[in-house]
């Protein structure tokens, strides 16, 4: 590999290497910036706020291994500014992912909620209000509903979306991105169980929680093909149509593992990764493989 040009000045490869080294050095030191009985907080990078050039968009990830191209898209949408990961389990795993990508961001922060009290903490709200990108990690979506719904955190998330901050989620984080979500508050349920009893008490559907553009009357599901979730998603959709008449034609979006749907501000979406996205608009079902695009605009 040639690092220098013919005149002795740094060539493109050299400067690319320097940029990668700078990114790694920036994220090399991870500190617990604040300890609380209600949450854990991790910071990698620059603690000072930066005003990034953000662009709206939504990352809908199907779980398991994260798709690197999706994260590059997400970080670019966030203007390489302050990336904030919200979660209710785990720690700071996404800091390592950004480090491995070699992408220079101002900072990446992780807030791990231990209870609903964290959703009223002024420091937590401040971090969300200063975020240039917000990502919801996997885990148990029931905790997100219990901890965030009807709290200042929910309000702060909506403020972030309104000011053009990209939003993303994987697995449990994907489950809360649509207008409706399978909240799993009474545990999970298989397709066979849901189809056998569409009124099973384990079918708990959240609504009036998070709302993002173009995702009206939509419910999502992750690990889709791998866990054979087509049947239960169809039951979820029928329940929405019966229980919420304003959604006469419910929509469903099932995403395979190692697969991500990237939705731009105008509602156009593209699939990246190794699997497929499965999209229902009423009875019509579509399968989109990696590289294919489709519209998530409501009514299309």
β-bridge partners, 35:
40
Whole-number Å distance between alpha carbons of 107 and 85: 11
- Tell me, what's the pLDDT at 7? 34
195/59 Cα distance (integer angstroms): 29
Task: Go through 162-200 and write b for each residue having 16 or more CB atoms within 10 A of its CB, e for each that does not.
Answer: eeebbbbbbbbbbbbbbbbbbbbbeeebebeebeeeeee
Three-class secondary structure of residue 202 per DSSP: coil
Q: Which domains does the chain have, with CATH numbers?
A: 12-295 (3.40.50.880)
Query: What does the alpha-carbon distance between residue 83 and residue 98 come to, in Å, rounded to a whole number?
Result: 10
Q: What is the pLDDT along the chain (300 residues), one digit of tens a residue?
A: 222 233 344 566 655 555 555 555 555 555 556 779 999 999 999 999 999 999 999 999 999 999 999 999 999 999 999 999 999 999 999 999 999 999 999 999 999 999 999 999 999 999 999 999 999 999 999 999 999 999 999 999 999 999 999 999 999 999 999 999 999 999 999 999 999 999 999 999 999 899 999 999 999 999 999 999 999 999 999 999 999 999 999 999 999 999 999 999 999 999 999 999 999 998 999 999 999 999 999 987
> Phi, psi (5° rounding) for residue 61?
-110, 140
In the block, residue with structure tokens 């019966």: 242
The sign of the torsion formed by the CA atoms of 205, 209, 215, 221 equals negative
Sign (positive or negative) of CA dihedral 225, 226, 232, 236: negative
Measured CA to CA in angstroms, residue 23 lies from 28, 76, 90, 103, 106 at distances of 8, 14, 24, 6, 9
Q: What pLDDT score was predicted for residue 35?
A: 76
Tokens of 180: 């409706």
CA distance linking residue 191 with residue 224, whole number of Å: 11
Rounded Cα distance between 103 and 20, Å, is 7
Distances from the Cα of 20 to the Cαs of 27, 94, 101, 117, 279, in angstroms? 11, 17, 9, 39, 38
36, 47, 94, 99, 119 from 65: Cα distances, Å? 30, 28, 11, 16, 28
Per-residue buried b or exposed e for 30-41, using 16+ beta carbons within 10 Å of the residue's own CB: beeeeeeebbbb
pLDDT score of 22: 54
State how far the alpha carbon of 173 is from the alpha carbons of 9, 62, 110, 111, 269, in Å: 46, 9, 14, 14, 18
């Amino acid at each position: 590999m040639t690092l220098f040009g013919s005149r002795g000045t740094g060539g493109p490869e050299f400067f690319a290497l320097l940029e990668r080294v700078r990114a790694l050095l920036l994220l090399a030191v991870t500190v617990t910036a604040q300890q609380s009985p209600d949450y854990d907080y991790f910071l990698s990078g620059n603690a000072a706020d930066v005003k990034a050039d953000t662009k709206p968009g939504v990352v809908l990830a199907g779980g398991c291994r994260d798709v690197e191209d999706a994260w590059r898209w997400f970080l670019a949408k966030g203007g390489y500014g302050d990336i904030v990961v919200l979660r209710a389990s785990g720690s700071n795993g996404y800091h390592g992912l950004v480090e491995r990508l070699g992408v220079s961001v101002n900072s990446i922060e992780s807030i791990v909620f231990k209870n609903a009290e964290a959703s009223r903490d002024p420091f937590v709200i401040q971090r969300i209000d200063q975020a240039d990108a917000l990502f919801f990690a996997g885990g148990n979506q029931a905790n997100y509903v219990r901890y965030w719904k009807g709290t200042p955190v929910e309000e702060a998330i909506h403020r972030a979306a309104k000011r053009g901050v990209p939003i993303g989620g994987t697995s449990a984080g994907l489950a809360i991105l649509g207008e409706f979500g399978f909240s799993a508050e009474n545990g999970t349920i298989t397709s066979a169980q849901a189809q056998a009893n569409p009124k099973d008490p384990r079918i708990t559907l959240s609504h009036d929680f998070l709302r993002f553009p173009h995702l009206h009357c939509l419910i999502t599901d992750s690990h889709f093909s791998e866990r054979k979730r087509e049947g239960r998603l169809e039951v979820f959709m029928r329940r929405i149509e019966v229980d919420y008449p304003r959604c006469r034609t419910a929509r469903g979006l099932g995403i395979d593992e190692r697969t991500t749907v990237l939705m731009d501000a105008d509602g156009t979406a593209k699939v990246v990764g190794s699997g497929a996205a499965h999209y229902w608009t009423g009875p019509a079902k579509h399968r989109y493989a990696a590289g294919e695009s489709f519209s998530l605009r409501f009514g299309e």
